[in-house]
Amino acid sequence: MSSLFSLLLPKTFISFRCHSVTRLRSSVAARTMSSQSSQRVFQLRQDPLTGNSEWIIIEDNDQPGASTDGLLATTSYLDMLNDSRRNRAYRLAIEKTITEPCHVLDIGAETGLLSMMAVRAMRGKEESGDSKGMVTACESYLPMVKLMRKVLHKNGMTKNINLINKRSDELKVGSDIASRADVLVSEILDSELLGEGLIPSLQHAHDMLLVDNPKTVPYRATTYCQLVESTFLCNMHDLRNNEAKTSDGVRLVPPGLESLFGIKSQQYSMHVDAIEKYIKLLSEPVKIFEFDFWKRPESNGELDVHIEAITAGSVHAIISWWVLQLDSEGTIFYSTAPRWIDSNSEIGVRDWCDHWKQCVWFTPGAEEISISVSHIFRK
């Protein structure tokens, strides 16, 4: 999914194109690699020189006696499990979506939380103790699989959940799973929404693993953006110009590398609430695009968005976030919006968390700006 925005400002016409090829390519490349010889986990890292963010693969050969605590500690699993608002939203949506015993597929099962929610939802809807429901959970990271097995044993659900140590695109109906799944539950989102290999995973699931017109949790996601002016925000990412204003004579920017230390037209994930008083809003929030989990996504796309400024100023950056609609009726939501965005009663007040942030797209000094935010899947 790629996005093309047209921003209409007083006396100014700004257009920018979005690409996120780098991060998605990293995820796609990892998906073509076998998980049999060694185990892998995705980890988001940022290059301190260029500021570019990308998903890298950490290899773990799982040697006998080797501790995996270090690798698990570097992931965002603990932070996600402590996000009680996220957990509650998923639980309510799963209980509402699963109306009878069925086959549920959990992609990227992690600790098994969503799988266990599905089992509990079906237990409350079984007739005469006759259980026809089943949950298939796939998780490619072996240390997490081992942890999930312990969690399932502790909760007495080892017989209810078929845990498979594979990526979802390695699963085959007839060998790994008995039949196509009626319901898909998943949480493979990042701050950009689509950067964690979501599109190819859903494409394969809809093609090979799910029934026609499946139920899904989440149901839909919508991304929004807002134009802002913030000298403070720019200065946080502009060592070159900040250094030029100092009088101590100390220079940290090497000659010939000035472009690496200035503001760049790229995306940064960060908590903007902490610097709200340094941000001037230049537009109302505007919807960028919707993404439906319940239908097969396209590999790429393009759209136009027009944004009208509500006050004069310089567009230093665009802040984006997403709202997750977890049920088909539109009553259960989760949002990564900044706190200055009014939340409805269903979303509630957002707890602080580090696994999902807002995204800031800088627009340094030009009337025609090209920002990298694309979602193009290439096999």
Q: Which of 95, 139, 192, 196 is catalytic?
A: 196
Q: Which of 110, 187, 192, 229 is catalytic?
A: 187
Per-residue three-class SS string for the chain: CCEEEEEEECCEEEEEEECCHHHHHHHHHHHCCCCCCCEEEEEEEECCCCCCEEEEEEEECCCCCCCCHHHHHCCCHHHHHCCHHHHHHHHHHHHHHCCCCCEEEEECCCCCHHHHHHHHHHHCCCECCECCCEEEEECCCHHHHHHHHHHHHHCCCCCCEEEECCCHHHCCECCCECCCEEEEEECCCCCCCCCCCHHHHHHHHHHHHEEEEEEEECCEEEEEEEEEECHHHHHCCCHHHHHHCCCCCCCCCCCCCHHHHCCCCCEEEECCHHHHHHCEECECCEEEEEEECCCCCCCCCCCEEEEEECCCCCCCEEEEEEEEECCCCCCCEEECCCCCCCCCCCCCCCCCCCCCCEEEEECCCCCECCCCCCCCCCC
Is residue 196 part of the annotated active site? The answer reads yes
Inter-CA distances, 181 with 134, 205, 308, Å: 9, 9, 44
Torsion 181-2-195-219 (CA) sign: negative
Cis peptide before 338 (omega within 30 of 0): no
Is residue 187 part of the annotated active site? The answer reads yes
Alpha-carbon distance of 31 to 86, in angstroms, equals 27
Q: Which residues are catalytic?
A: 187, 196
